[in-house]
Structure 1
Amino acid sequence: MTLDAQETNTTARAGLNGQAPRCNHVDLLPAVEHGLPECQGCLALGRTWTRLLMCLTCGWVACSDDSQGGHAKAHYEETDHPVVAVLDPGSTWRWCYVHQRLV
């Protein structure tokens, strides 16, 4: 067993073959349906968005960080809902705001 500076078992946290530790937020996600495919925040401000993300906790849809509004991240900051997915058919892209990485 390997311990880090906080004496936490790092072996238990490690992913396969040196990968980053598994994001346990993914395991806690309920099955949700997404809202309308539009960013309400951007629509209210008369802006357009680059990409839409869906909150995998509640289904709320908002623009990504590379859009002018960054409303998906603002939703995370308000609600602590950690994981979003891109709202593109067939995409498996998911981001965890807590771990700041793809999951």
Structure 2
Amino acid sequence: MTSQTSCKHITAISEFKTANEHVCEECVKLGDGWVHLRTCQECGVTLCCDNSKNKHATAHYRSTNHPVISSGELNERWLWCYADKAFVTY
């Protein structure tokens, strides 16, 4: 990682999960679109960002308490921790 953080959730990540498919699984079920994708670093699910209508990634955090997401977009390498509001690039 190129940025320093004191977030224990981010520093605990030893292997980064990436999107298997570049779709929001929940938006597909609803027949909706999305703006950007985020991948949960605990379970690997890829969902839409808060700029998207359904905000599935944040809803996933609230329902599962999985705190860290990464960008699900190609060529973007960053992590965000909902719990600690910490952001790092890698």
Q: What's the TM-score, normalizing by structure 2?
A: 0.80
What amino acid sits opposite 2:13 in the alignment? L
Runs of 4 or more above 4 Å deviation: none
More strand by share: 2
List gaps (5 residues or longer) in structure 2: none
Matched residue pairs, number? 84
Greater relative contact order structure (CA < 8 Å, 6+ sep): 2
**Corresponding position: 1:44 with 2:3:** no
Distance in 1 between the 2:53 and 2:70 partners?
A: 18
Write out aligned runs for 1:6-17 (5 A).
none
**Corresponding position: 1:90 with 2:79:** no
Deviations 1:16-73 (A, max 9, x none): xxxx961110122252353322111111111100000000111110000110010001
Distance in 2 between the 1:65 and 1:87 partners?
A: 13
Identity of aligned residues (%): 33
More helix by share: 1
List gaps (5 residues or longer) in structure 1: 1-19
Distance in 1 between the 2:37 and 2:49 partners?
A: 6
Q: What's the TM-score, normalizing by structure 1?
A: 0.71
Change (3 A) 1:61 1:21: closer
Match of 1:66 in 2: 51
